[in-house]
Amino acid sequence: MEPVKYVFGFIFIAGVLAHIPLSNVLRFLPANENIDHPAKAWRIFYRLMALLMCNFWSFLLTIALLGTLPVEELLHKMRDSSQLARAIALLVIPLPMLPLLYMLYAKLVRWSARQEAVR
């Protein structure tokens, strides 16, 4: 089977499903309820979900940014490459923006926790 479909499906399905435990109906949960949870097992789980969510958004943002650049030659080379090389490229594409998005997400939820503590 084609590994590109599996990688693409994993990024999208894991990213969408990772939003569920991290958010309430209309807002993200504060840090003390997810990425800074007192229990170690839950903290690891929520941080993994945050990484998957940030990977999903990083993938979408990177693809959108690449769509604005003239990368026809790169895309032509990718069409000639093997399925495994394409799958690896899909895994590597979101990595440069992933730490930035995770850091921004962590700052946002920690700020949210501080705001709720003040109230």
pTM above 0.85, yes or no: no
Give the tens place of pLDDT for each residue, 49-89: 999 999 999 999 988 887 777 766 666 666 777 888 878 88
DSSP at 27 = S
Bigger pLDDT: 73 or 41? 41
**Taking the domains of the chain in order of start, what are their residue ranges?**
3-118
For 42, phi and psi rounded to 5 degrees? -70, -35
Beta-bridge partners for 23: 28
% of residues, the chain, pLDDT over 70: 90
Spell out the long-range contacts of 71-77 with Cβ–Cβ below 8 A and sequence spacing 24 or more. none
For tokens 């979900």, what's the residue?
A: 49
